[in-house]
Structures are given as C-alpha cells and as structure tokens.
Amino acid sequence: GQNIDQPTEMTATEGAIVQINCTYQTSGFNGLFWYQQHAGEAPTFLSYNVLDGLEEKGRFSSFLSRSKGYSYLLLKELQMKDSASYLCAAMDSNYQLIWGAGTKLIIKP
C-alpha cells in the first residue's frame, strides 16, 4: 500500500533550527512536496523535490533521498509565524498526491 509517515508534533525555540522528517512508500514516484498549513487555512506550497539532494529556498530547505524513501524539511532561524502544520505529500505514478497526516510545529519564545 501507499503510506506517508511524519511525526505528529514537534516543538522548537524561536531562532533555532528544526528538521521535520518524512518517509514514504508509493506506487511509482513523481516527486515529494512540502506544504505549510496554518490553522483554519488551506495549505500553501513550500517545496518540491524529484531528484536526490537538497533544495534551498530562503530559510526553508528540503532534502530527498529516493533510494531511502526519505525526505526532510529544514527550517532555519525560526520565527513565531512558523508555528503551523507541515504536510508531506508524495506524488505517485498517476500524479496523485499521497498525504501524510502532518506535523504540528510549535515555536516557543
């Protein structure tokens, strides 16, 4: 079956760095997405990885290892506004997104 695993909740301190891990199993693979979702709002796109390696975009970076079925989202210089749920989603061979349950990130001052 198809499956996405990510931690349910993480806590970090303002100004610090946090890494949110995601492992996936899908029928075929067309890339790995990370979305940010604030409470009561729709998800917003953060990153897309289809090749192995690290993609950096400002304070956020995303890493993919296709052989390990593994990705992580790295958030640097954490700000209070980064408190949100972070959703990992893998795209299968039919270009359908398989969603993880999301990681709730709590930022403390």
Partner 1 sequence: GAVVSQHPSWVICKSGTSVKIECRSLDFQATTMFWYRQFPKQSLMLMATSNEGSKATYEQGVEKDKFLINHASLTLSTLTVTSAHPEDSSFYICSARDTQVDYEQYFGPGTRLTVT
For residues 84 and 46, give the distance between their C-alpha atoms in angstroms, rounded to a whole number.
13
The two three-digit tokens of residue 109, written as one number: 């001052």
Question: Alpha-carbon distance 24 to 65, whole Å?
Answer: 10
User: Among candidates 79, 75, 27, 67, which has minimal Cα distance to 47?
Assistant: 75
Distance, CA of 99 to CA of 44 (rounded, Å): 14
- Minimum gap (Å) between residue 10 Cβ and partner 1: 15
Residue 82: strand, helix, or coil: helix
48 vs 70 by CB, closer to partner 1: 48
- In this complex, which beta carbon is closest to partner 1, that of residue 43 or of residue 69? 43
Least separation in angstroms between residue 109's CB and partner 1 is: 24
SS3 81: helix
Q: How far is the CB of 101 from partner 1 (least distance, A)?
A: 4
- Which residue number, 103 or 107, has a Cβ lying nearer to partner 1? 103
Judged by beta carbon, residue 69 or residue 102, the one nearer partner 1 is: 102
- Nearest approach, Cβ of residue 42 and partner 1 (Å): 4
Binding footprint of partner 1 on the chain (CB under 8 A): 30-31, 33, 35, 40-45, 48, 50, 87, 91, 95-97, 99-102
